[in-house]
Chain A
């Protein structure tokens, strides 16, 4: 293998150990030298990142080049197949203890104490994975530094002081606490009230005894309010608040496994869909036994998903998946793009989020990932309507509007926010747009090259000229060392060249006609222009499976690994069978082995 090797790494090493000849297909297709091998790439029948027809990529044995993960599914669809190993038994995958993210901490404190000051914003940031989970909630990666322990302690003290600062505040914890002479009975009521929410379970006698002792010790040297504050301060640092502790219970139907208890299931549901502690209805459902069955869980999941409180979580998901949340920091040349400003950028962000909320949640909308990717409409205010050439929209409110010409623009990926967020300078860049589509929409994960032997051969071209991006980016194809990956990336990006760096439609660049022809790796034929591209992407299993994968990683708070293979295959099949409906996908996340079971305690 020469240094020109494209390194293609399977992200989820399948335990099934199947490596099929189809895995060669992508390598040949894209003209890069990928080797087949490794520990069992997802093959035709296990529904990994590949579709049923598995144009998968092999695992390169030669290290160091740019790397790509996974393959792209076939365009042809067909019935999703779950491998025989996954058809029997229960395969929950790992369930590492999860810590509240800053987002969840803020929500929880708001629900427990009515404190909406978002105190967790001052905590050190979450740890992110280099690949995989892009949401900052990968349980395996979070650790506690000295500073974090100290900061948790400090914000808990601030929150507790606010919650006990006045007699009105105290009365909210328990009416008696706002009175003149609260006694130990009152303290116990406060403990029960706060603990049942913060730890999402009923307080036990031992809890009440130990917290009462703490309160009395502190009160003895200070005041009742200070003692109550100490309870809250301790609870907000407690393991059952900061972590989602799941001790589980024996699974009657599968003695080798465990199931989350009803209270733990309630927390799984509420944190997944609302990013916070369970509400009273969920607590009641847990107590009544409703959460002991998959159907009962589904009932609650449907309720949660359809509640408006699910919206911020879905928004958080897309803010992290799509390149839209940093738009208002993006620099654009004022002369070249006079329309572009921070306000305009915020509008682009809102367009995408508003569109997604409506398409996913509105009664009557199709609400599938395909319909999101190919919607003939969007949501705009007056500013954006004028930008898109949509007549009849006035004011700052976002309104539904049909796309005037669906041969030029169609669906989420052609929205100006996405086309702007993927471009970094005042010139469009097919590499960045192509990388986004492959990495985040098709889960191919092509990384920058790092092998010194390869980098030594890579010379950043100086003084590149050319009217169009296609001309400026010719070196990629001339230098063999670059061509391996760029043969995958660039043809995707070229099809988006009809959008300028702020996503405005154009047919020429630098006085030359734009050639927007290209192709999508792993699919047959060519595509011409952005609309054909998004239709092609929407038709692949890879795009569907990739979207489901992002939700599993976000919802389960981990990066999927080989132990999640069966869950993933089943989920892919379920998603496909549901017609790709997104709300249904969210509900179905609660019907998997990963949600309903836990591995045995090791």
Chain B
């Protein structure tokens, strides 16, 4: 229990129960740690679809840097991120293979990205899963971290957001094609991201009090909501034991989430001085439900359902949603986030880049179009720069360290080379503070023996940055321990 913490309400409840026999003050004091506190306090995963361009058809690599480890010359795709490289807050993690990926290529890719595990029911030697459930075989790293650093401690255990989500075969629903996050429980159930910028603002910041003083009406509302949740929890508690095994698991999961919600509304936000409501942006014209078209619309499957009006607003809405993600972290609403730029179908157009077909079309549906893929990937880099700079502007403490400094940001994709959908040399980036890893470098893992360059090792390393000392994550057979040369 290295990280044992109690919030005020738990103390009030616990004073009569768990604290019996313990000196009161002792349980209120964090247990002394044998080692220095981990620097990483917040985790953000950022997904961009469609990989990088490792070979444009002429053999030219448009993603991989050149130069040396400590003096990398950024490739065209990564060039926009130079300010972060110069600030030594960016690490290009090159040469890792997503060896745990197994199943339908895009689906298995986005599933393996944060889980280090295969798609459920995938045949052992690859291919389309045979069973109904074809999501992740085990939890994703963000959810594991949420359990450790966020759940019940922050208002929201983890915050999943996606821009222009549910395109193509996802049909606007939660599908293995569209899902990166999986619950930290035995079922590893998929988690649908929040996609509506208007609703996200209302939910996160609508009633956020940044004044520093307690609003009595808001406090009363919280009390009332607790009473109601207590009642609801009671109903689940009395019902769950009456059910069969499978149904019990279903409702137990619901019960766990209600308890987390109860704890969350009691959690006292420890917002930074720079916590503020993001400027509300008018997103009218943007249809977050654009992908919804019934469970079987072939036209959507292929990307022929075009919503140019919504697509046009992607940069504006994406920027706004990044702002909200940054402030959700800065205001301590949550400590764990995932930001998804669309699903792996990536079936939307890029009017602002003058690209009238969808990303998947350029990947291979319309034959591999390297220049277009490079253009799209490069644009994503500019968005990543915006995000990282926004995080680096938020001062979190007296020593002027920033939100980025106390965060680990993991940027990745579901495939590597667009037309072949490979899982080798994954285009991964880490961003964050010096306490977690040594930035300003391009680290290339070339030893492919004994899973030494398996991306599971990166997931293990990330967990270690948060004080989780495990040596394997996801499918253990692809784990060789944490990556070397990160710090």
The residue on A at minimum CB distance from B368 is: A460
When chains A and B are docked, how far (Å) is the Cα of A130 from the Cα of B106?
13
Residues of B within 8 A of A144 (CB): 189, 253-254, 257
Would you give the 0/1 interface string for A545-588, flagging 1 where the beta carbon is closer than 8 Å to chain B?
Answer: 00000000000000101000000000000000000000000000
Beyond A122-B199, A238-B235, whether A331 also contacts B224 by CB under 8 A is no
CB proximity to A under 8 Å, residues B176-215: 176, 183, 187, 189-194, 196, 199, 203
- Say yes or no: is B245 at the interface (Cβ < 8 Å to chain A): yes
Are B297 and A323 closer than 8 Å at their CB atoms? yes
CB proximity to B under 8 Å, residues A315-349: 319-327, 329-331
- Say yes or no: is B244 at the interface (Cβ < 8 Å to chain A): yes
Residues of A within 8 A of B105 (CB): 450, 452, 455
Residue in B220, B231, B232, B304 whose CB lies within 8 Å of A331: B304
CB proximity to A under 8 Å, residues B210-245: 220, 223-225, 227-229, 231-232, 234-236, 239, 242-245
The residue on A at minimum CB distance from B236 is: A239
Are A128 and B175 closer than 8 Å at their CB atoms? yes
Would you give the 0/1 interface string for B411-440, flagging 1 where the beta carbon is closer than 8 Å to chain A?
Answer: 000000000111000000000000000000
When chains A and B are docked, how far (Å) is the Cα of A145 from the Cα of B184?
11
Are B173 and A222 closer than 8 Å at their CB atoms? no
Residue in B158, B236, B247, B420 whose CB lies within 8 Å of A455: B420
- Say yes or no: is A529 at the interface (Cβ < 8 Å to chain B): no
Residues of B within 8 A of A242 (CB): 254
CB proximity to A under 8 Å, residues B301-345: 301-307
Q: Give the interface size class of chain B.
A: 35 or more
Residues of A within 8 A of B132 (CB): 129-133, 138, 140-141, 559, 561
CB of A485 to closest CB in B, whole Å: 12
The residue on A at minimum CB distance from B367 is: A460
- Say yes or no: is A544 at the interface (Cβ < 8 Å to chain B): no
Are B421 and A455 closer than 8 Å at their CB atoms? yes
CB proximity to B under 8 Å, residues A428-452: 432, 435-436, 440, 447-448, 450-452
Residue in B223, B305, B421 whose CB lies within 8 Å of A329: B305
Are B127 and A326 closer than 8 Å at their CB atoms? no
B247, B302, B306 pick with most chain A CB within 10 angstroms? B247
Would you give the 0/1 interface string for B157-176, flagging 1 where the beta carbon is closer than 8 Å to chain A?
Answer: 11010000010000111111
Are A323 and B299 closer than 8 Å at their CB atoms? yes
Residues of A within 8 A of B354 (CB): none
Beyond A126-B174, A432-B302, whether A148 also contacts B257 by CB under 8 A is yes
Are B305 and A134 closer than 8 Å at their CB atoms? no
When chains A and B are docked, how far (Å) is the Cα of A302 from the Cα of B190?
38
- Say yes or no: is A532 at the interface (Cβ < 8 Å to chain B): no
- Say yes or no: is B443 at the interface (Cβ < 8 Å to chain A): no
Are B220 and A221 closer than 8 Å at their CB atoms? yes
Are A326 and B297 closer than 8 Å at their CB atoms? yes
- Say yes or no: is A498 at the interface (Cβ < 8 Å to chain B): no
Q: Give the interface size class of chain A.
A: 35 or more
Residues of B within 8 A of A143 (CB): 183, 187, 189-191, 250, 253
Are B251 and A239 closer than 8 Å at their CB atoms? yes
When chains A and B are docked, how far (Å) is the Cα of A435 from the Cα of B169?
14
Would you give the 0/1 interface string for A99-125, flagging 1 where the beta carbon is closer than 8 Å to chain B?
Answer: 100000000000000000000001011
- Say yes or no: is B97 at the interface (Cβ < 8 Å to chain A): no
Are A247 and B242 closer than 8 Å at their CB atoms? yes
- Say yes or no: is B295 at the interface (Cβ < 8 Å to chain A): yes
When chains A and B are docked, how far (Å) is the Cα of A153 from the Cα of B34?
41
- Say yes or no: is A178 at the interface (Cβ < 8 Å to chain B): no
- Say yes or no: is B396 at the interface (Cβ < 8 Å to chain A): no
When chains A and B are docked, how far (Å) is the Cα of A424 from the Cα of B224?
52
When chains A and B are docked, how far (Å) is the Cα of A143 from the Cα of B158?
16
- Say yes or no: is B130 at the interface (Cβ < 8 Å to chain A): yes
When chains A and B are docked, how far (Å) is the Cα of A146 from the Cα of B254?
9
Are B124 and A97 closer than 8 Å at their CB atoms? no
- Say yes or no: is A539 at the interface (Cβ < 8 Å to chain B): no
- Say yes or no: is B104 at the interface (Cβ < 8 Å to chain A): yes
Are B227 and A330 closer than 8 Å at their CB atoms? no
- Say yes or no: is B397 at the interface (Cβ < 8 Å to chain A): no
- Say yes or no: is A300 at the interface (Cβ < 8 Å to chain B): no
- Say yes or no: is A70 at the interface (Cβ < 8 Å to chain B): no
Residues of B within 8 A of A239 (CB): 235-236, 239, 251, 254
Residues of B within 8 A of A561 (CB): 132
Are B133 and A140 closer than 8 Å at their CB atoms? yes
CB of A249 to closest CB in B, whole Å: 13
Beyond A97-B247, A127-B173, A330-B304, whether A210 also contacts B293 by CB under 8 A is no
When chains A and B are docked, how far (Å) is the Cα of A141 from the Cα of B224?
33
Beyond A127-B173, A455-B421, whether A325 also contacts B250 by CB under 8 A is no
Would you give the 0/1 interface string for A231-245, flagging 1 where the beta carbon is closer than 8 Å to chain B?
Answer: 001100111101101
Residue in A65, A148, A432 whose CB lies within 8 Å of B192: A148
- Say yes or no: is A67 at the interface (Cβ < 8 Å to chain B): yes
The residue on B at minimum CB distance from A232 is: B228
When chains A and B are docked, how far (Å) is the Cα of A205 from the Cα of B183?
37
Are B306 and A331 closer than 8 Å at their CB atoms? yes
- Say yes or no: is B8 at the interface (Cβ < 8 Å to chain A): no
When chains A and B are docked, how far (Å) is the Cα of A143 from the Cα of B186?
12
When chains A and B are docked, how far (Å) is the Cα of A238 from the Cα of B235?
7
Are B302 and A96 closer than 8 Å at their CB atoms? no
The residue on B at minimum CB distance from A7 is: B127
Would you give the 0/1 interface string for B262-306, flagging 1 where the beta carbon is closer than 8 Å to chain A?
Answer: 001000000000000000000000000010111111111111111
The residue on B at minimum CB distance from A230 is: B228
- Say yes or no: is A20 at the interface (Cβ < 8 Å to chain B): no
Would you give the 0/1 interface string for B360-384, flagging 1 where the beta carbon is closer than 8 Å to chain A?
Answer: 0000111110000000000000000
Residue in B189, B244, B296, B367 whose CB lies within 8 Å of A440: B296
When chains A and B are docked, how far (Å) is the Cα of A422 from the Cα of B305?
11
When chains A and B are docked, how far (Å) is the Cα of A138 from the Cα of B242?
22
- Say yes or no: is A423 at the interface (Cβ < 8 Å to chain B): yes
The residue on B at minimum CB distance from A142 is: B250
Residues of A within 8 A of B126 (CB): 63-64, 450-452
Residues of B within 8 A of A230 (CB): 224, 227-228, 231
The residue on A at minimum CB distance from B123 is: A63
- Say yes or no: is B17 at the interface (Cβ < 8 Å to chain A): no
Residues of B within 8 A of A131 (CB): 132
- Say yes or no: is B128 at the interface (Cβ < 8 Å to chain A): yes
When chains A and B are docked, how far (Å) is the Cα of A137 from the Cα of B220?
38
Are A323 and B298 closer than 8 Å at their CB atoms? yes
When chains A and B are docked, how far (Å) is the Cα of A325 from the Cα of B298?
10
Are B251 and A67 closer than 8 Å at their CB atoms? no
CB proximity to B under 8 Å, residues A355-377: none
- Say yes or no: is B35 at the interface (Cβ < 8 Å to chain A): no
When chains A and B are docked, how far (Å) is the Cα of A320 from the Cα of B293?
8
Would you give the 0/1 interface string for A21-61, flagging 1 where the beta carbon is closer than 8 Å to chain B?
Answer: 00000000000000000000000000000000000000000
Residue in A154, A422, A460 whose CB lies within 8 Å of B298: A422
- Say yes or no: is B449 at the interface (Cβ < 8 Å to chain A): no
When chains A and B are docked, how far (Å) is the Cα of A421 from the Cα of B298?
6
- Say yes or no: is A456 at the interface (Cβ < 8 Å to chain B): yes
Are A125 and B294 closer than 8 Å at their CB atoms? no
- Say yes or no: is B129 at the interface (Cβ < 8 Å to chain A): yes
What are 11 of the A-B contact pairs (CB < 8 Å)? Answer: A7-B127, A64-B123, A97-B246, A125-B172, A127-B174, A144-B189, A154-B203, A239-B236, A239-B254, A424-B302, A432-B298
Instruction: Given contact pairs A147-B156, A153-B225, A234-B235, enumerate 13 new A-B contacts (beta carbons under 8 Å).
Output: A9-B130, A127-B192, A130-B134, A130-B176, A134-B295, A150-B261, A234-B232, A331-B304, A421-B299, A424-B301, A451-B126, A460-B364, A460-B366
* B interface, CB within 8 angstroms of A: 103-105, 107, 123-130, 132-134, 151, 156-158, 160, 166, 171-176, 183, 187, 189-194, 196, 199, 203, 220, 223-225, 227-229, 231-232, 234-236, 239, 242-247, 250-251, 253-254, 257-258, 260-261, 264, 290, 292-307, 364-368, 420-422
7 closest Cβ contacts across the A-B interface?
A326-B293, A143-B189, A424-B304, A63-B123, A325-B294, A64-B127, A424-B302
